[in-house]
Structure formats: structure tokens, C-alpha cells
Structure 1
């Protein structure tokens, strides 16, 4: 990532959305950015796997898991897939597991919490939708910037 989120906020306050501070950092990369690819699923991570198996091309997978605190949608194996397939990061509006394995991956991961239970596998999910959580509308193709200070989105790439 080229610039701190705080500096981008200062320079572009009229062009950004700022996510509410509800996410914890789990990945090996604290700062990450990229074009948004959206996925909506609830307690089923089948689509998370299938998307992370694809070339990430520096994008950020934004997973609207409905804020469920009953199981994890991303674990160590999927974080490794994200790293290997060149995803910049994964934002999960839900939980992750295998925290130590995720920390070892060179990918950004933000989620609500850790939970040890794996999700169902029923191949249920929707791709490319605008999803809304944390006070932000995450739109397919927009840009996401994240670091230790928080997360913002913009409709176009931001520079200082």
C-alpha cells in the first residue's frame, strides 16, 4: 500500500467512505489495498474457497457473512490460497479461525473475531453484489484501503 489510510482520509474526505471500527487484524500484512470483489454468504464458505482459488490480481475479497459469530468463514488454508493466488486481502464480516496460520500468510485479513468452528459447505453464496456493513457500501470494482488505523473505500484509486 502506498499511503497510510489517515493521510488518504485527510486528502480525500469528500470521496471516501470510512468503515466503523469493528474489525480486528489477523493477516500477516497489516496494510493492504486493492479493487473490491464482493461475496455474500451466510455460515457457508464454499464460495470463499472457490473465489480465493482464482487469480486475485491484487484485489481484496470482501465477504459479507452477515456478521455471524457462530462459525468461521476463513481459516489458515484459505488464507494461504489467498497469498498464493495474489489476493491483497480479505475482509470478513464474520469470523476466522486458525489465527496463527493466517498470521503467517503475507495477506491482509480483517474480521470481527476468531471462532474455532468451521462453516457449512452447501455451495450457497452470491458474487458481485453491493454489500453493506460497518456503515459502508462495498461495491464491486471500487477500491479498499486498510491499515492499523482502519478501512476506507473509494470509487476510484486514491493518491496523495
Structure 2
């Protein structure tokens, strides 16, 4: 055993059908049905408008080092999202356009990085989803150590290999596969209810009585 410098080759991936079912569900609706505590911190932002969806393939990297990130690129399968715990370091980029294009060619679904990238402008023209903490032109080292396919911390969330990752313009939510079907059904129902609310707004029939009822129940004093 060599803790801190090891690679686990095998992970359990949920079915492609289950993952794909989250394709059009807003992250906000998913998060609302997970206690509102399962999203990565807002400092991790998208660098284009390509939606993120796939299976977590995790990397735990030392500060400013991407040796294990490169190994993950060679190991990850189509549909995987490479999730990198870069210890929130802002001093070095962990990847750039070359790694992004290589990942695209392999069918990797995207990157979720608690750290920096570079070549950010290139992402405007790439159909490849990248979420990261920031941008820095300084490149990384390749010394190791690090680990692949272990639990990692990304944006304040524990991410396990095989978790379902969903990201849109609002941010990223992490879903455990064992919970996914139940969450999916609830999030779909919420999304449908929101569509009805939009219709009521347009028709002028939206009932807002819940606001005053809630204030009254909580003992709010309203003064003329």
C-alpha cells in the first residue's frame, strides 16, 4: 500500500440511461430536492455554456501538479467527468487547451476542477464543458504524488468515483447513484410545476397568498 500515491483502476458507473435522464433538468431543481446542500461552492464557475453531465472520475492532486490529471486523461472513459481536487490552489493552472482537446477527442464529458485552468479563451469555441476556480497562465509541475479514483473534496463537496455530476450556468450538483432515481423523479415533478407557474404568471392567475400566510404564521407585525 502506498497512501497518497496510488491509482484505483475500477469504478462502478451508473447506467448511461440514468445519467442521460438528468440532461434537461436544471441544477437548481435537482439541488432543491437534495436538501439544498449538495452543490459545489459558487467560486467554481463554468467557462462556457456547454452543460456538464457525466460520471465522476476523481483525481487528488498536490498543489500545482497535474501528473495524476494526465494519467486520468488516459484512463477515463467516454462520458466521464474528470473531477480534480487541486486543493483550491490559485497559483498554477492544472490544464489548458491541449488537455481539453485531448479529452474531447476521447469523449470525456468535461472537467470539474477545484483549481485553475489556462487558455480560457479557447473554451469559447470548444464544445467541451469546464468548471474551475479561476485562471492562471503559469503551468503545472509533473512530480506527483496524488491519487486517482478516491474520495475527493471539490468546492466543499465530497465527490466519490461514480457519482453523477450535473452542471449548468448556475453551478454544479453532485448526486450519489443510489439516490439518483428518487431525486430524478422529484426534480422532474418540480420542473413541471414551475412550467405551470410560468403559465399562471402570464395569465395573471398566480396565487401569492402564501406570502402573507407565512408572515402571519411567523408572527410578523405589519404596520400601516
Same fold (TM over 0.5): yes
By how many angstroms is 1:47 displaced?
Answer: 1.8
Match of 1:106 in 2: 127
Match of 2:25 in 1: 3
CA contact 1:15–1:154 (8 Å) conserved in 2? no
Match of 2:97 in 1: 76
Greater gyration radius: 2
Q: Tell me whether 1:34 sits opposite 2:49 in the alignment.
A: no
Q: Tell me whether 1:115 sits opposite 2:136 in the alignment.
A: yes
Q: The residue matched to 1:120 in structure 2 has which SS?
A: coil
By how many angstroms is 1:59 displaced?
Answer: 1.1
Q: Distance in 2 between matches of 1:28 and 1:152?
A: 16
By how many angstroms is 1:112 displaced?
Answer: 0.7
Match of 1:146 in 2: 167
Between 1:49-58 and 1:119-128, the stretch displaced more is: 49-58
- Could you state the TM-score of these two structures normalised by the residue count of structure 2? 0.65
Between 1:115-124 and 1:1-10, the stretch displaced more is: 1-10
- Structure 2: gaps of 5 or more residues: 1-22, 189-224
CA contact 1:54–1:85 (8 Å) conserved in 2? no
Q: How many residues align?
A: 158
CA-to-aligned-CA distance 1:54-94 (integer Å, 9 cap, x gap) = 45321111000111111000100001011111111101111
CA-to-aligned-CA distance 1:32-65 (integer Å, 9 cap, x gap) = 1111111011211122122223453211110001
Q: The residue matched to 2:38 in structure 1 has which SS?
A: strand
Q: 1:50 to 1:28 in 2, by over 3 A?
A: farther
By how many angstroms is 1:150 displaced?
Answer: 1.1
Between 1:98-107 and 1:111-120, the stretch displaced more is: 98-107
Q: Which structure's residues are more often helix, by fraction?
A: 2
- Could you state the TM-score of these two structures normalised by the residue count of structure 1? 0.89
Note the aligned Cα RMSD (angstroms). Answer: 1.9
Q: The residue matched to 2:94 in structure 1 has which SS?
A: strand
